[in-house]
A and B are shown apart, each in its own frame.
Chain A
Amino acid sequence: MGYFYTTLKYLAVTLWSVFVIAPFLWAISTSFKDFQSVTNGATYIPWVDFEPTLEGWRALWKSPAQGGVAIVEPFFNSVFVTAAGSAISILLGTLAAYALSRFTFKAGPIRNGDITFFFISQRIMPPVVLAIPFFIMLGKFSLLDTLVGLILVYIVLLMPIAVWIMVDFFNKVPREIDETALIDGCNPYQAFYKVVLPNSIPGIVVAGMFCMIFGWTDFFFSFILTFTEVQLLPVAIVALNSSITPWWSLSAAALVSVAPLVVVAFIVERFLSKGNLSGALK
Chain B
Amino acid sequence: MAEIELKNIAHSYNPQAADMNYALDPFNMTWVDGGRYAILGPSGCGKTTMLNIMSGIVQPSEGKLLFDGVDVTTLSTSERNIAQVFQFPVIYGTMTVKQNLAFPLVCRNYEKSVIDAKVQEVAEALSLQGLLKKSASRLTADQKQLISLGRGLVRDDVAAVLMDEPLTVIDPDLKFRLRRQLKEINQKYRSTLIYVTHDQNEAMTFAENIIVMDAGKIVQVGSPAELFDRPKTTFVGYFIGAPAMNFFDCQASGGYMLSIGSAEIMTGTDLSKVGSAPLKLGIRSEYIRIVEAKGANTFTAHVQRVEDMGNYKLVTAVFEGHVTKVKVERDIAVPVDRVELQLPAENCCVYAADILVS
Contacts and interface: CB of A to CB of B under 8 A. Distances in A.
Contact of A282 (B82, B89, B108, B151): B89
Nearest to B77: A182
Given A185-B108, A198-B94, A282-B90, A180 B78 contact: no
A184 interface: yes
Given A183-B83, A185-B104, A174 B90 contact: yes
Nearest first, the 3 A-B pairs at minimum CB distance are A185-B107, A182-B77, A184-B104
Interface string B327-352: 00000000000000000000000000
B86 interface: yes
Contacts of A199: 92-94
B235 interface: no
A179 interface: yes
A201 B137 CA distance: 15
A143 interface: no
Contacts, number: 60
B88 A174 contact: yes
Nearest to B105: A185
A281 interface: yes
A184 B149 CA distance: 12
B88 A176 contact: yes
A195 interface: yes
B107 A184 contact: yes
Contacts of A186: 78, 107
Given A182-B76, A183-B77, A186-B107, A176 B92 contact: no
A53 interface: no
Interface string A188-219: 00100011001101000000000000000000
Given A183-B57, A281-B93, 20 more contacts: A174-B88, A176-B88, A176-B90, A177-B90, A179-B84, A179-B86, A180-B84, A180-B90, A180-B151, A183-B77, A183-B82, A184-B78, A184-B151, A186-B78, A190-B107, A198-B94, A199-B92, A199-B93, A201-B94, A282-B89
Contacts of A198: 92, 94
A121 interface: no
Interface string B42-82: 00000000000001110000000000000000001110001
Interface residues of A, number: 20
A187 interface: yes
A183 B89 contact: no
Interface of B: 55-57, 76-78, 82-84, 86, 88-94, 103-104, 107-108, 144, 148, 151
A103 B94 CA distance: 24
Contacts of A195: 92
A56 B32 CA distance: 83
14 contacts: A174-B88, A176-B86, A177-B90, A179-B55, A180-B84, A180-B148, A180-B151, A182-B78, A183-B82, A184-B78, A184-B151, A185-B104, A185-B108, A281-B93
B88 A282 contact: yes
Contacts of B86: 176, 179-180
B150 to A, nearest CB: 11
A190 B86 CA distance: 20
B88 A187 contact: no
A53 to B, nearest CB: 51
A210 to B, nearest CB: 23
Contacts of A185: 78, 104, 107-108
A279 to B, nearest CB: 10
Nearest to B84: A183
Nearest to A201: B94
A281 B89 CA distance: 9
Contacts of A184: 78, 103-104, 107, 151
Contacts of A281: 90-91, 93
B78 A187 contact: yes
B108 A179 contact: no
A90 to B, nearest CB: 18
B57 A182 contact: yes
B166 to A, nearest CB: 12
Contacts of B82: 183
A183 B88 contact: no
Nearest to A187: B78
Contact of B55 (A183, A187, A194, A201): A183
A203 B285 CA distance: 57
Contacts of A190: 107
Nearest to A179: B57
Contacts of A183: 55, 57, 77-78, 82-84
